[in-house]
Amino acid sequence: MAEAYFPVGPGLGMEENFLSLDDILMSQEKLPGRAESALPRLAVLMGQGAGSDNFWLLSFLQGSKLEIPLWLAKGLHDSKRRIISVELPKIFREAWRTVFSADANVVDLHKMGPYYYGFGSQLLNFENPENPEIAQTILQTFIARFRRIMDSSQNAYNEDTSALVARLDELERALFQVGQKGLNDFQCWEKGQASQITASSLVQNYGKRKLAEVDG
C-alpha cells in the first residue's frame, strides 16, 4: 500500500460518491427493468446516429424487458414511471432473502455481483414496496458475516489469504485489507521494526515494473 495515496472511497448508504472509482464500477452493474411507454418510432430515428445507439433503443418497445446499468436506471427513472420501471435483481428478491436470513455465511457474495452492499443500498432509491425488507436483509447479512471477516483478517499473518477472500464482496474485501494492515503494523511494531525507515512500496512497485519492461 502506498501510504500517501488516499483514493476517494465508495459512498455509504443511498448516496454514491461522485468521484469514487468503486462507485462508478458499481453503478455499471445491470438491473432488470421494463419499458413503460411505446417508443417504436425511435428505432427509425436511430438510423441517423453513430452506430451503437441502435442496439439499445431498438429494444425499447412497450412492455419489453431490458437489462440496464444502474446509472441509466437512476437517470431515466421517475416517480410516475413514465419511461421505465425497474425490478429487483434475483438476489434481492424474496427467495434469496430467505437464504440470506437462514445462513449468510455460506453465500458467495463475490459471485452474486461483487458489489452486493453498495448495489443493494442503491436499489433503495427506487420506490419499491419491498424496500424495508431489502434494507433489513442487507444489514443482517453484514452483521452475520462480519465476525468471520474480522477474525480471519486478524489471524492470517503472512499466509495466502485467497481462500478467505474468495467469497467476499468488495466492501468486505476492503474491510479484510484494513484488518490485515492493522495486523501487519502491529507485528512490525512487536518486532521493533516500527522505527525502521523503509523504501516506499510505491517506489518498489515502480522498480519492479521497470525491470519487467526492460526484460520483456
Partner 1 sequence: MAAERGLELVRELHRAAGGHLPPFRTEEMRQALEEMRALYERNQADVSEAKSGRTDLIFLIRFRHCCLLRNQRCLLAYLYDRLLRIRALRWEYGSVLPNTIQFHMSAEEVEWFNRYKKSLATYMRSVGGEEGLDLTQDIKPPKSLYIEVRCLKDHGEFEIDDGTTILLKKNSQHFLPRWKCEQLIRQGVLEHVLS
Does 62 help bind partner 1 (rule: CB under 8 A)?
A: no
Residue 78 neighbours by CB distance under 10 Å? 9
What is the number of residues in the chain?
216
* Region for 194 from its dihedrals, namely left if φ exceeds 0, alpha if ψ lies in -120 to 50, beta otherwise: alpha
Q: Which of 11, 42, 87, 125 binds partner 1 (CB under 8 A)?
A: 42
Does 6 help bind partner 1 (rule: CB under 8 A)?
A: yes
Q: How far apart are the first and last CA of the chain?
A: 25
Does 8 help bind partner 1 (rule: CB under 8 A)?
A: yes
Question: Segment 111-140, which members bind partner 1 (CB under 8 A)?
Answer: none
Does 64 help bind partner 1 (rule: CB under 8 A)?
A: no
CB neighbour list of residue 97: distance below 8 Å, 6 or more residues apart: 133, 134, 137
Does 178 help bind partner 1 (rule: CB under 8 A)?
A: no
Residue 126 C-beta: closest distance to partner 1, Å:
15
Alpha-carbon distance of 108 to 164, in angstroms, equals 11
Q: Which three cell numbers stand for residue 73?
A: 436506471
Residue 8 C-beta: closest distance to partner 1, Å:
7
Does 209 help bind partner 1 (rule: CB under 8 A)?
A: yes
> Which residue, 30 or 93, is less far from partner 1 as judged by CB?
30
Alpha-carbon distance of 91 to 100, in angstroms, equals 9
User: Which stretches of the chain bind partner 1, using CB under 8 A?
Assistant: 1-8, 18-22, 24-25, 28, 37, 39, 41-42, 45, 49-53, 56-57, 60, 69, 71-72, 75-76, 83, 192-207, 209-210
